[in-house]
Amino acid sequence: MNVTICTIGELLVEFLAKKENQGFSQPGEFWGPYPSGAPAIFADQVAKLGFGSVLFSCVGSDAFGEMNVARLERDGVIVNGITVLQKATTGSAFVSYRNQSQRDFIFNLPNSACGLLTADHIDETLLNQCNHFHIMGSSLFSFRIIDAMRKAIENVKSRGGTVSFDPNIRKEMLNIPEMSQAFEYILDYTDIFLPSDGELDYFGRHQGEDEQLLVDNLLRRGVKHVVIKRGPRGASYFSDQQTWHVPGFAVSVVDPTGAGDCFGATFVSLFLSGVQPEEALNWANASGSLAISQRGPMEGTSTRSQIEAFLAAQSAR
């Protein structure tokens, strides 16, 4: 199957604190700027695997925007859906690490160029080329973007296409009421749901249910495939017919940002192209492992040959 995947949302630059527990309340040194944004990382990874990849977003008419668009275009992303806004600045994020898995963010998104994205920025001709739409929960920070998401869902679904959804929950955004409302709407149209095991609790926290019950509820709701990301412990796949649990890989963590986006991009694109769930999970685990081995959110996206080499090296151990 020819796979062309589109996604919508934040495209920004990211600055990484150089020291653990550095925080934001005192002067410190940062690495960056790096191209970033969960949908952008996802789109970049899809393209590097050789699949059609379209990103709809907005950047400012500035060096940060130029850097982002150039990087995505170099890696094969179709960038015609990225609008340059003359009177806005490109979004940014500052990241401070408490440890290898806990991070604090300061986002400049709602008032940046990508925060001004509306349904009018979604080129329908370009959207019509896509047979799959991927949604990142971190992108649902404004009514404007949520309206754009609805437009894309309705378009892709009306043509027999499919939808995947990674909740990608950021604690800094959980106080945005429209986000939780959008989650419920999107789940009604989701074919492939990709939460982390920690995020799964968000969708069943009132019931106090265990994981299998939560998965069963999602499948009954109409989600066809549930993929749970477990970091170094691997990942699991659930459908009405199959369940797979695939172990992860023991690798050193340099920078965890972007690993889940790379995992999702690899699983979704391979699975849609006909790869069986077990193999798609294994490749997705490898993709996530390669992502955390590089500093910078988009620096760890990988090609097919890089993933193959990684898997061969792991098998030889």
Q: Total domain count for the chain? A: 1
Report whether 296 contacts 33 (CB < 8 A): no
pLDDT at 172 over 90: no
Q: Please classify residue 61 by burial: count the beta carbons closer than 10 Å to its beta carbon, then call 0-12 exposed, 13-18 middle and 19+ buried.
A: middle
The per-residue pLDDT for 175 is: 64
Please say if the pLDDT value at position 3 is more than 70: yes
Q: Which of 40-54, 164-178, 235-249, 250-264 has the lowest mean pLDDT?
A: 164-178
Is position 108 within any domain? Answer: no
pTM of the model: 0.95
Say which residue, 14 or 101, is predicted with more confidence.
14
The mean per-residue pLDDT over the stretch 182-194 comes to 93
What is the Cα–Cα distance from 83 to 55, expressed in whole angstroms? 10
Query: What's the average model confidence in pLDDT over 154-163?
Result: 97
pLDDT value at residue 209: 63
Q: Is residue 165 part of a domain?
A: yes
How does residue 199 score in pLDDT terms, banded at 50, 70 and 90?
confident
Residue 19 is assigned to a structural domain of this protein: no
pLDDT for res 201: 72
2-19 average pLDDT score = 95
For residues 300 and 289, give the distance between their C-alpha atoms in angstroms, rounded to a whole number: 9
Other Cβ atoms closer than 10 A to 176: 15
Structure tokens at 237: 């796949």
Q: Are 229 and 235 spatial neighbours (Cβ–Cβ below 8 Å)?
A: yes
Give the pLDDT score at 208: 54
Sheet with strand 52-60: strands edge to edge = 82-85, 52-60, 4-8, 132-136, 162-166, 192-193, 225-229, 235-238, 243-246
Mean pLDDT value across residues 127-133: 97
Whether 104 maps to a domain, the answer reads no
- 297 lies in a domain? yes
66-70, 72-76, 230-234: range with lowest mean pLDDT:
230-234
In the prediction, which pLDDT does 179 show?
72
Q: What average pLDDT is seen over the chain?
A: 92
Supply the pLDDT for residue 263. Answer: 98
CATH of the domain at 217: 3.40.1190.20
Mean pLDDT for the stretch of residues 9-17: 96
Whole-number pLDDT of residue 223: 97
Q: Specify the higher pLDDT residue, 33 or 198.
A: 33
Q: Does 106 map to a domain?
A: no
Residue 65 in domain? yes
Q: What is the mean pLDDT of residues 263-273?
A: 98
Contact assessment for residue 29 and residue 44, using Cβ atoms and an 8 Å cutoff: no
Instruction: Please list, residue by residue across 125-160, b when 16 or more beta carbons sit within 10 angstroms of its beta carbon and e when fewer do.
Output: eebeebbbbbbbbbbbbbebbbbbbebbbebbeeee
pLDDT at 206: 52
Band of pLDDT at residue 105, cut at 50, 70 and 90 = confident
CA distance 150 to 170: 21
Domain span at residue 49 reads: 4-10+38-90+118-316
Per-residue confidence band for 83, with pLDDT thresholds at 50, 70 and 90? very high
Report pLDDT for 197: 86
**For residues 207 and 183, which has the higher predicted lDDT (pLDDT)?**
183
Task: Tell me what pLDDT residue 50 has.
Answer: 97
Task: Provide the H-helix boundaries in 32-103.
Answer: 38-48, 63-74
State which H helix or E strand residue 283 sits in: helix 277-292
For residue 275, pLDDT over 80 is answered with yes
pLDDT over threshold 80, residue 205: no
In a domain, 49, yes or no: yes
